[in-house]
Structure 1
């Protein structure tokens, strides 16, 4: 509001094109100085809170509705573990946030076991501001889905909720999906 009134005041006192150009430059300069000052204050306040916000992540759940006859449980468990490791390693390299580990003793540490309520409370206790959870769903040998959400624990609302597909049920396909998920989280949840 103050910026608008300064702008109107400056423009009402100006006559002629050259003076109007100088006044706009003056107003823009003042506005730029205001933005720089606000940025410095925000940066100082952000640094006092410990720097980057913390992100806690769970293991992703897995669901298979493909109806394939052959038992692939061991293969899917290994691929899911590799997916979770790749996801965490990729997110740990992001300079926008710190990754926080959740403590899970006997449960799977997923949204289903012990559940979102328990894990979000653990994430808050660990000092996390954001909480990531998700699921991989195998539709068929050719089609799989990755669904995930990031919650802002301070605001108690989702930051993003994404749904992606990938092709194939191989180690390479799952690794590609994990790397793509990392990039998607960085692009759409923490721009």
Structure 2
């Protein structure tokens, strides 16, 4: 009788072992499937700039340089993510914003480069100390925003704008990429 019970216990352990091996195998296959998932194809429009600070000194050249650096830092931050495949918009003019050539045209251009999503935005200098980054990620298939966010930053320096761009990239990765 003892031999029968031992054989029965061994058989059940063998069945449990096979079950756990099957679970482990399924987990490995599932993780491989997720690892091979297609990256999100994202087109990034140039951000616009708005200054309502009312400062007397003309800072147009400084802000244009900072806006370009903001775009480079944002692009660099997003391009480091393996879940995102950035594609360039085929804009004919120097600007490629929601104002010029416009949202409808930008969406069409993003679709021509196989983008599934379009990132648009604006940097707004409200005062000497306070700035905002307003952006949206649009789903080009559904024609609706996936994400629409306002971020604030402090300061009107190269460093403040760079940090704002880096934070914006992390926020997009965390909250806006499906």
TM-score by length of structure 1 reads: 0.75
Which structure has the bigger radius of gyration? 2
SS of corresponding position for 2:135? strand
Q: Which runs of 4+ in 1 moved over 6 A?
A: none
Deviations 1:97-132 (A, max 9, x none): 200001112241011111111011110110001110
Aligned equivalents of 1:95 and 1:41: distance in 2? Answer: 15
Aligned equivalents of 1:154 and 1:40: distance in 2? Answer: 27
* Aligned residue pair count: 163
Instruction: Indicate the structure whose relative CO is greater, using CA pairs within 8 Å and at least 6 residues apart.
Output: 2
How far the C-alpha of 1:72 sits from its partner, in A, is 0.3
Confirm whether residue 129 of structure 1 aligns to residue 92 of structure 2: no
The match for 1:14 is none
Unpaired segments ≥5 residues, structure 2: 1-15
How far the C-alpha of 1:53 sits from its partner, in A, is 2.3
Deviations 1:135-168 (A, max 9, x none): 0000010000000000111122211100011001
The answer on whether the counterparts of 2:40 and 2:177 sit within 8 Å (CA) in structure 1 is no
2:48 to 50, 61, 64: 61
- Aligned-pair Cα RMSD in Å: 2.7
Aligned equivalents of 1:154 and 1:42: distance in 2? Answer: 24
2:99 to 87, 106, 112: 112
The answer on whether the counterparts of 2:49 and 2:122 sit within 8 Å (CA) in structure 1 is yes
Alpha carbons of 1:179 and 1:105: their partners in 2 closer, same or farther (altered >3 Å)? Answer: same
The match for 2:64 is 77
TM-score by length of structure 2 reads: 0.80
1:98 to 74, 85, 92: 85
Unpaired segments ≥5 residues, structure 1: 1-24
